[in-house]
Amino acid sequence: MKILSIVIFIISIYILGSCSAYKMSSSDFIPTHVLESGVTYPVMTSGLNPGEITGLLYLGPVSHIALIGNGNGKMLDDTLSNISEQLLDKIVSDFKTNIPLSGEAEVHDEATKSELEKEIEHLCKVVIELNGISDINLTPVIDSLLKSNNKRFGLITVAEGYTRTKDNINANKALQVAGITANFLSGNIIPYVPRRVTKASSTLFVMIVDADLNNITFFRKCIKHAEPTDGNVLSDQFRKIFEGFYIKLIIK
């Protein structure tokens, strides 16, 4: 029994040190180590060259960041979402020497703000569902903001992600240890492979809309297994999205 206890202890330590990734539905076939460094998807464009897309009006960020606590359920967290939006505002401003920004849309009416957010979410959802940007027209508020500001192009950022509480992480580790221990004690010859749990995930979508052609002229996303409210993470994702377009491709 003493030897058995030592074996179980060693196995438990191994599991506690190795559980670090939780598969996302949109990236089931992407290796964990790749997601940890970031995956930037191919750019979608309407065919316009970067030099033709100038005078971008920033239409603001939309962020939906969830917190996973008891029961592994995702609950949208307003505080985390607000932090993400503030970080995106700063990041867009920091990159103004790399991308042709010409200002930010000022929306003071709460009803208009709410409708703008819904329209941005709608456009992003449609692009993802269609896996393309062809034949997607602009929505009323977005189109109106561009025309009222005498701008052809608008820049939009959308952030999604989640993070876990410490209690949730510890609970998942305990479940993994219990599972592998029970499997070992039952004498099962088939190795028990515990579900790996990712602490956090960050997905950033960026799109550019064209009022003259009534379409989306640029769309790209980047997924990373990292904290969604880490400014360095979001900044790196934003840079990667525009690499090879506005920003010179960095070869590592």
- Domain regions of the chain by residue span: 23-165+199-242
Mind listing the pLDDT tens digit for each residue in 99-109? 999 999 999 99
pLDDT range class, residue 195, cuts 50, 70, 90: low
Q: Quick check: 36 and 224 in contact, CB under 8 A?
A: yes
Q: Summarize pLDDT for 161-188 with one digit per residue, the tens.
A: 999 988 776 666 665 655 556 565 666 6
pTM for this structure? 0.79
Phi-psi region of 101 (alpha: psi -120 to 50; beta: other; left: phi over 0): beta
Return the number of other C-beta atoms located less than 10 Å from residue 185's C-beta.
10
Q: What is the pLDDT of residues 230-249, one digit of tens each?
A: 999 999 999 999 999 999 76
Instruction: In whole angstroms, give the CA distance from residue 193 to residue 236.
Output: 33
- CA gap 52, 117 in Å, rounded: 27
